Amino acid sequence: MSKKRVLVTGAGGFIGHHMIRFLKKKGYWVRGADIKYPEFSSPEEADEFLLLDLRQMQNCLIATVGIDMVYAFAANMGGMAFVTNVKADVMRDNALININMAESCKVNSVKRVFFSSSACVYPEYKQLDVQISPLKETDAYPAQPDTAYGWEKLFSEILFKSYESDHGLEMRIARFHNIFGPEGTYMGGKQKAPADICRQVASAKNRDKIKLVGDGEQTRSFCYIDDCLKGIYLLMNSNYNQPLNIGSDRLVSINHMTDIICKISDKQLGIEYNPGPQGVRGRNADLTLCRKILKWTPKISLEEGLKRTYHWIDQELKKRGSIRKKIKAYA
């Protein structure tokens, strides 16, 4: 039998380039597509990597030619500070990407599509306390996401389900809850909390202070990338076609996560609390349905995942420092 041909969009991003590596190990022929190359891995990990702006219809048509399945991760996104302050670009870019990709999959007879949605679709009124009740998939309606990014994700869920209903496009949808790990953005303004705190701690000297937004008591659950990839793969190969939470149901405060990272670093650090966008007060995943449908739960502990992430970021910072020294020496 010939290999199934798979397209991964957003292949230059965090989850996308990890997914390429995962699928190649499973024996698939994989095409990557993105507006940028991966920052921390080689595009040659894919059988083919197309540098394309997927906001343009013709590029989505090119990307989906001869493809059996699509893993759709392409999005303009970042941490809370980014999605709070860059609303119009996020809404426009992501809506264009998903509208064009849905239509291209129909035109090119793609059989099945995985769409990466987000826990940001859940209503703000259910996330006002740090000790939040875990969010079930049915909690998404009545809708009231707290960000434009969340509204666009909810719109795109409906968009893809409409293509499933009208055109037979088989859909698999996951709502991610804070996926983290090595080989992801850790500086520059688009980084998320685990990577940002790891970078600050790795850069700090003993007794320094790191900066957190808010009071640090806001709560989240965090899922390590390797667990996420397994969940995605199981969902894509299942018969379940409704949105499904993929994440962890271990609720921790940002302060607690910071303590874990400081312990990993073996540094004694203070904290400076600053005003800024911090999102909802609490968010956690109810994995009841995921366990039932996929027989899946995350296996890698928060401590182990943060340890791997911290040491990778620490090494990256040391590489950058070494390069700067060499440039200075030759200047």
Question: Which residue among the candidates 28, 149, 163, 310 is catalytic per the annotation?
Answer: 149
Helix axes 87-107, 57-64, angle to 10 degrees: 50
Indicate if 186 belongs to the active site: no
How far, in Å, CA of 161 to CA of 70, rounded? Answer: 15
| Tokens coding 72 | 């759709």
All residues at 6 or more sequence positions from 41 whose CB lies less than 8 Å from its CB, including other chains: 17, 21, 183
All residues at 6 or more sequence positions from 49 whose CB lies less than 8 Å from its CB, including other chains: 11, 31, 32, 33, 34, 37, 43
Residue with tokens 């894919």: 46
Helix axes 148-167, 87-107, angle to 10 degrees: 10
| Tokens coding 168 | 């037979």
| Tokens coding 115 | 């769409």
CB-CB contact of 54 with 253 (8 Å):
no
- Torsion sign over Cα 224, 45, 173, 279: positive
CB-CB contact of 73 with 8 (8 Å):
yes
Residue 300 has phi, psi (to 5 degrees) of -90, 125
CB-CB contact of 193 with 220 (8 Å):
yes
Give yes or no for a cis peptide into 43 (omega within 30° of 0).
no
How far, in Å, CA of 236 to CA of 272, rounded? Answer: 43
Active site residues: 149
